[in-house]
Structure 1
Amino acid sequence: MSATPQLSVVVPVHNEEDNVAPLVGEIVAALRGKIDFEIVYVDDTSKDATLARLRELQATVPELRVIRHLSNAGQSTAVRNGVKAARGAWIATLDGDGQNDPADIPKLVEKRDAGDAQTKLYAGWRVNRQDSGSKRWASKWANAIRSRMLRDSTPDTGCGIKLFEREAFLDLPYFDHMHRYLPALMQRAGWKTVSVPVNHRHRTAGVSKYNNLNRALVGIKDLRGVAWLILRSRRTAVEELPR
């Protein structure tokens, strides 16, 4: 692995001790020999053996880097801190629960390589979700409301697997839960976004950190905030004058 890999895979985790080793193994299998990459795990103050498992894996996986929060800060902050620590110009994100398939990362990279330079986000689209019926129903309505309010032309913003340019991401306004609104925020900044169908799997270990009620209560406030950001956005091209 070089000092400046082509791709950084950022994975936020909280209490995912049984998912760490399988997911790291899948990331390595999907990317090693195909692209120069690093893996940046961000441990958000796990209370189980997640951090210990990651430290053990570092002995055999040279691409793996581990950073940890000193206090619990949530998924959006974990993603952002992982992106800030990353050395690659492009970032792939995965949820730490193993429901995203690392084998889809090369597909996103291929879409980027064949795409428009103005496209800075390739967002996973779970066309065959493996969640409970209640969670799928809640997400369907949440996506419909979000799409109507933000007009981001994105069928699935909650999918954890995404590929985006590091510089463009770090230029976005930061707030808790921002990771759920990346297409709208990227479009607000003047960039194009593309949704790419990806695989989705059942959780095989651990428990979900969210339920439908807390997602809904937070989502209402976030939607209003993102809509306000879009309304108040102003963009213009700039040029530097010669001496």
Structure 2
Amino acid sequence: MPDLSVVVPVYNERDNIPPLLAEVAAALRGKIDYEVIYVDDRSSDDSRDVLAAQKAEHPELRVLHHLSQSGQSTAVRNGVKAARGAWIATLDGDGQNDPADIPKLIAERDAAEPSVKLFAGWRVNRKDTASKRLGSRFANALRSRLLRDATPDTGCGIKLFERAAFLDLPYFDHMHRYLPALMQRAGWKVKSVPVNHRARHAGSSKYTNLGRAIVGIADLRGVAWLIKRSRRTGIEEH
């Protein structure tokens, strides 16, 4: 069984697949026993064929395909459910996350107390457009005010978390944006780790500020309700 499963959701990212897989191999091969699980959210380009061809160069690669387009959160969750590793690293499929940061997150995990179950990437020097940076800054401030999750950047795609803890969280569409708050709701601790961020070199973004805002308002209310209704207690067996 691998020590680590790297889960990468993709939708129409055919040109970003080979270079990102090469970077994952450069960062992890020979250093840790790992697998890479790509989850194709029913791409309309030839991402599926590109992934099939990459298996010859990357024996660690496993490929899942959605039968209907279901979004990033569902892709991440299906990848985690299929994963064999006890710990999961996630990357966005657009290549803006740097796989070289995965060993840094693993080192943070090894030095942390066992109650820390999520190590969240923190893009301290974002390479996005000014409008996306402004939109994210506003969304992060609003989310932090309402949820009090003490996390500066929940939208960063690179994360490291325990598989069992993740699968114990409530599932809903867009949940990947609220993992710190959901982990804390479950009684676990979260640590933000500064990571590298790169400009997108191929393809186009699948999100807009307006689209995120429309679903974000409902999501924030829902997560706040989940936190308010949460009940936790220790247990012992006699």
The TM-score by the shorter chain falls in which range?
over 0.9
SS in 1 for 2:171: coil
- Aligned with 1:96 (options 93, 97, 115): 93
Structure 2's unaligned 5+ residue stretches are none
- For residue 83 of structure 2, the aligned residue among 81, 86, 108 is 86
**Mean Cα displacement is larger for which, 55-64 or 91-100?**
55-64
Give the TM-score of the pair, scaled to structure 1: 0.97
User: Across the two proteins, how many residue pairs are aligned to each other?
Assistant: 238
1:107-144 Cα distance to aligned partner (Å, 9 max, x none) = 00000000010000000000000000010001001000
Does residue 1:214 correspond to 2:211, yes or no? yes
Name which of 114, 119, 122 aligns with 2:119. Answer: 122
Residue segments in structure 1 that go unaligned for 5+ positions in a row: none
Please state how far the C-alpha of 1:167 moved relative to its aligned partner.
0.1
- After superposition, where does 1:161-180 map in structure 2 within 5 Å? 161-180=158-177
CA-based RMSD: 0.4
Task: List per-residue Cα deviations over 1:30-51 (Å, max 9, x = no partner).
Answer: 0001110000000000011111
Seq. identity, %: 74
Q: 2:109 aligns with which of 104, 109, 112?
A: 112
Counterpart of 2:232 in structure 1 is: 235
The whole-number CA distance in structure 2 between the counterparts of 1:137 and 1:194 is 24
Counterpart of 1:226 (choices 204, 223, 226) is 223
Task: Tell me the CA shift for residue 240 of structure 1.
Answer: 1.7
Q: Which residues in structure 2 correspond to 1:1-243 (within 5 Å)?
A: 4-241=1-238
Normalized against structure 2, the TM-score is what?
A: 1.00
